[in-house]
Amino acid sequence: MNRRYFGTDGIRGRVGEAPITADFVLKLGWAMGRVLAADGQRDLVLIGKDTRLSGYMFESALEAGLSSAGVDIRLLGPMPTPAIAYLTNTLRASAGIVISASHNPHEDNGFKFFSRDGEKLDDATELAIEQMLNEPLTTVASERLGKVSRLNDAPGRYIEYCKGSVSREVRLTGLKLVVDCANGATYHVGPEVFRELGAEVIAIGNRPDGLNINVRCGSTHPAALQRAVVENGADAGIAFDGDGDRVIMVDAHGRVVDGDELVYIIASSRHAAGLLSGPVVGTQMSNLGLEVALKALGLDFIRARVGDRYVLELLRQRQGVVGGESSGHIICLDRTTTGDGIVSALQVLEAMVLREQSLSQLAGGMSKFPQHMINVPVTRRRSLDELPALQDAVAATERELGDDGRILLRPSGTEPVIRVMVEGREADQVRRHAERLAAVVQEQLQ
C-alpha cells in the first residue's frame, strides 16, 4: 500500500490546506484510536504540541477524534517532541502524538507519532492508520467515550529526565550559556535544565506568541545566537528548533558547530571513556569530514537514508548508540529513544566538563569538507534514474571529484524540491558542480 499522508516524519503541511485541516485531524485521531483499539484494551494517548497558534485547533480536533473511538487522552500542552516520547513510555500510554511542524514557519503544522515504547511508529502501524482513514467515522457508545485530563507536572518530569542523562558528578557551574529556544516548545524547559545543573543561562527566543516560532531564531537561523554568544562572552550557545528534537551549538568565537560535529564530539568522548559500542551512524547528507575523523579514531561509520527514523533503525540493527544528522537530529540510544536536542546538548557539555576542553577544542578533531546544497523547486515528480541527461552530468562530475568528493541528489520528503548536494576538498569547485547539476535538474523537471 502506498503512503498518502505519512512522510518520513509523520504528517506535515500548510494549515487549512488538505490534509492539515480540522476535519481531517478529527478523522486522524479517530483512525489512530480505532487502530489502537484492536488490542481490546482501554487505551491512553498523550497529546503535546509546540507553540503554533494552530495547535489549539488541532489539539481539540485530535481530542474529539480519539474520544469518539473510546480512547482516553492526557494533554501535556507545549512540550518538546522528545518529552512526549519519554512520557509516553514512562506513563505506560498506548501512544503519543505531537502537534508540530518542527523547524517550519507558523503557517505549517503537522503530527508526529510515538509508540508505547517512545519510538516512532513502525511502517505497519502508519499504514493501518492510513487504511482506517478510508472507513466511515463511527462513535462508540456514550459510556465508552474517551475521557480527557491534563498532566500539569509534565515539564518537571521532563526536566528531571534530562538532568539524569549526564553523570551525577557533572556540574555546569562556571559555564555561561546562551540558549535559543526558537520561540518554540523548549522555551520553558530548556533554559531551566541548564540552570538547575549550575550554568549561568541567557535565554533568547523564549517569548512565543503563536506566530514567531522559528522566525530569525533557533537552529535554522543561528545568527542571533552567534551575536549573543560573542556579545555576552559566553562559553557556548545552544539552539533548538521549534519542537526541540534538533540542536546546533555555537562556540565562544561565534562559530556554528553543526550536527555532524556534535555527533563527532559525542562519539569520540564516548570512545575515549570506553562507552561506545557499534558503529556511528550518519546519513547520506553527513559531511565526509565526519567519516574521515571517525576512521582516524578507528571507529566505523555507516550512512542511513536521510531521516532520523532511518538513523535509529540502523543503530538498532548494528547495536550502535550514537548517530545523527548534520541538521542536528542526534540520537544517543544509551540515553534516549529518539532525537532530543536538550539531551544531546547535555552530552556535549558533559564532554566539555570532563575533558576540560572548550567546544572549539572538542570540535577541532574534525575538519569539514566544503559542501554545497541547492534546493531546486520542481513542478513534476519523476524518478531521477529516468533522466539520462542528468545521469550523464552526474557521472562526469564524479569523475572530476574522484575519491575526494560525493554527489547526492534526492527528493525532499516534505517539500516539492530536489536537493542537489556536492561535496569535495575545493569550495569553488564544489559550488560550480552543484550549480551545474542543479541547472540540469531544473531543466529536466520543470
Closest C-alpha among 240, 197, 180, 123 to residue 353: 197
**Paired strand residues for 388:** none
**Residue 180 burial (CB count, 10 A):** 32
Closest C-alpha among 295, 277, 284, 289 to residue 332: 277
| Contact predicate 285/407, CB 8 Å | no
Closest C-alpha among 198, 187, 285 to residue 239: 187
From the candidates 100, 102, 115, 219, which is the catalytic residue? 102
φ/ψ (deg, to 5) at 227: -65, -45
* DSSP secondary structure letter of residue 35: H
Is 102 among the residues known to form the active site?
Answer: yes
Distances in Å between the Cα of 75 and the Cα atoms of 60, 87, 169, 338, 357 are: 10, 11, 34, 20, 41
Residues recorded for the chain: 446
| Contact predicate 186/342, CB 8 Å | yes
| Contact predicate 66/32, CB 8 Å | yes
Distances in Å between the Cα of 420 and the Cα atoms of 17, 185, 407 are: 28, 31, 8
Q: Which residues contact 142 (CB under 8 A, 6 or more apart)?
A: none
| Contact predicate 241/220, CB 8 Å | yes
Catalytically active residues are 102
